């Protein structure tokens, strides 16, 4: 997030296409990610496209300055860095999940091999119930 901006945004400063960093906290959730202002309406407020999940928000109230005050301008470079970091985080998570699946399957194969060794050691006429 840009450190050059001491003050948070005001609704009247928002422009369509502007990149902003949105950091907010609610009762049990908090978030911090870049987004782009996609629509402004003097009556309804404004809408953003979040770069966390690439979905558009509903209308955010511009009259109480609450939502806009949780935003600071950001640069294209910051958006790119965020997306690269998210991609690496996602890839790392996916690799860990695949490693866990592989480990589980290796364990199953090892147990099957042990059982096969035991079965081969039994006399040919042994019946297993």
For the chain (129 residues), the mean pLDDT of every run of 10, in chain order, is 53 89 77 91 90 89 64 91 87 87 91 88 81
Dist CA 2 CA 73 (whole Å) = 7
**What is the structure's pLDDT at 1?**
46
Domain boundaries, the chain: 11-74, 76-122
**What is the structure's pLDDT at 8?**
63
Is pTM beyond 0.75? Reply is no
Buried b (16+ CB within 10 A) or exposed e, 34-48: bbbbeebeeeebbbb
**Which CATH architecture describes the domain 11-74?**
Roll (2.30)
**What is the structure's pLDDT at 66?**
56
């Amino acid at each position: 997030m840009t450190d050059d901006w001491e003050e948070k945004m005001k609704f009247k400063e928002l422009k369509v296409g502007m990149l902003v960093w949105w950091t907010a906290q609610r009762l049990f959730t908090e978030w911090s990610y870049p987004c782009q202002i996609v629509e402004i309406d003097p009556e309804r407020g404004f809408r953003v496209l979040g770069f966390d999940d690439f979905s558009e928000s509903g209308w955010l109230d511009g009259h109480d300055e609450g939502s806009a005050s949780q935003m600071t301008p950001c640069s294209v470079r910051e958006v790119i860095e965020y997306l690269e970091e998210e991609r690496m985080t996602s890839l790392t998570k996916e690799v860990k999940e695949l490693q866990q699946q592989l480990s589980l399957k290796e364990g199953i194969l090892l147990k099957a091999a042990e059982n096969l060794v035991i079965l081969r050691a039994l006399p040919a006429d042994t019946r297993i119930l």
